[in-house]
Chain A
Amino acid sequence: DAGVIQSPRHEVTEMGQEVTLRCKPISGHDYLFWYRQTMMRGLELLIYFNNNVPIDDSGMPEDRFSAKMPNASFSTLKIQPSEPRDSAVYFCASSKGVANSPLHFGNGTRLTVT
């Protein structure tokens, strides 16, 4: 299995632009998580899905952030409009169940907003 695949690996954009981050979870996994990592705050849970349905988006910082999971093999996290304070590494993770299963993380997308 190729693991969780995220794209792009790096994204540099100007303030005000729309940014779309993409994630392909591991086949057969029914949970998908989006995290943001910064030096100051560590890993923060933004939103998670179960069987493609958003369960908890309370971690999404503002209405500028939105996430979708149109099918079991694809999810997107969109920021519109982007701001410099959105600069961080964004991780996607998937798991089969959640109680006793590890999260499998992608290698992240490093976002820089200038």
Chain B
Amino acid sequence: DVKVTQSSRYLVKRTGEKVFLECVQDMDHENMFWYRQDPGLGLRLIYFSYDVKMKEKGDIPEGYSVSREKKERFSLILESASTNQTSMYLCASSPPGQGLAGADTQYFGPGTRLTVL
């Protein structure tokens, strides 16, 4: 079974702090993703990476950055946390897409519920 783990289930930080969320997958997947989940808005893509040291902005990258130094690890960084970044953060990984036909199944970690005070 694919396993995607996230470093913390719950995290409480103060406004202005630098926050690191870590994600590790054990299936040698090329693609990794960071989403945030808010009630009524579903999942919104923050960043994704299709290879080591490669990254692409998603729909809501403002206020976030990412790092992928190793294939199995994808980190989300909040440079200066703000209260509007209080949310559930979900990491996912997947094999490469099916070319023109579309994306393959994404496998999700358990999520990190971040509260910024």
Say if A and B assemble together.
Answer: no
Q: Identify the B interface with A (CB < 8 A).
A: none
Q: Identify the A interface with B (CB < 8 A).
A: none
